Chains A and B, each alone.
Chain A
Amino acid sequence: KAGVTQTPRYLIKTRGQQVTLSCSPISGHRSVSWYQQTPGQGLQFLFEYFSETQRNKGNFPGRFSGRQFSNSRSEMNVSTLELGDSALYLCASSSSGEPYNEQFFGPGTRLTVL
C-alpha cells in the first residue's frame, strides 16, 4: 500500500506570494490533517478534513486554508506569505479520523519564504 504523498517536496517563495500544497492520503483513508513544524513552535495542528468537510481547525490566521476533494486528496493554501511561514508542512491521513486512529504522515513539504 502506498504511503501518504506530498507535493512538492521543496518550495521557495517570496513574501506576499501565495502557495498551494498537495497531499494524497493512503488509499481508503478518509481523514486528512495538516501540521506546521518549525524549530521554535514545534508541531502545530492546522486543520483536519473528513469526507470533504473541515472538522477541526487550529489557531492559525485566515491566510491558511484548505480543502478536501471527493477522492480524499487534500490541498492547503497559504496566501500573502510571510517570512514566518517558512516551515515543514506535514500531512497525515487516518482511516476514519477517530481519535484512536494512528495517523500516517507524509514526508512533508519544506516551504522557504524569502
Chain B
Amino acid sequence: AQKVTQAQTEISVVEKEDVTLDCVYETRDTTYYLFWYKQPPSGELVFLIRRNSFDEQNEISGRYSWNFQKSTSSFNFTITASQVVDSAVYFCALRPYYTGANSKLTFGKGITLSVRP
C-alpha cells in the first residue's frame, strides 16, 4: 500500500520569506515516481515536478527547489523569496513505476500556503 503524508496543513508566511513544504511517503515498491502539484484558488491542479526513485539529484527551477532523500522517504519542496502568487494548496503524490492495476497516483492531503504581502 502507498501512503503520502504532508504533516503541515497550513503555512502562512510574509512575502520574500523562504518556505519549505514537507512530504514523506511510504511504499513497498522499489521503483516509483514522486510528483508535486499546485492547486491555486481556481481549482485546477498544475504539475510542478516529477522525480523517479532512481534519481536523488536535487532540482532547482527558478525560486523552486526540491530535495529528494530516499533514505528518509522524503521529497521536500522549498520556495525561495515567496510571492503572493505562490498562495495555493500544494500536493505531493506518489505512483508506482508500473502500469496496470494498483498503479494509481496517491496524493497527500495537501498544504495550504498563504503568502501575505
Q: How far is the CB of A8 from chain B (nearest CB, A)?
A: 14
The residue of chain B having its C-beta at the shortest distance from the C-beta of A90 within the complex is B45
Interface contact tally, CB-CB below 8 A: 56
Query: Contacts A43-B91, A56-B100, A99-B96: A106 and B44 contacting too (C-beta < 8 A)?
Result: yes
Contact A99 B95 (CB under 8 A): yes
Are B104 and A42 in contact, with the CB atoms below 8 A? Answer: no
Closest chain A residue, CB of each to CB of B44:
A107
Size of interface on A: residues with Cβ below 8 Å to B: 24
Question: Which of chain A's residues 36-83 have a Cβ closer than 8 Å to chain B?
Answer: 42-45, 48, 55-56, 58
On chain B, the residues within 8 Å of A97 by CB distance are 99
Report chain A residues within 8 Å CB of B43: 88, 107-108
Stretch at the interface among B68-76, B80-88, B106-114: B106-114
* Distance of A2 from chain B, by nearest CB (Å): 13
Residue B105 is within 8 A (CB to CB) of chain A in the complex = yes
The 10 closest A-B pairs by CB, nearest first: A105-B45, A43-B107, A102-B47, A45-B104, A42-B109, A99-B95, A107-B44, A108-B43, A99-B33, A105-B44
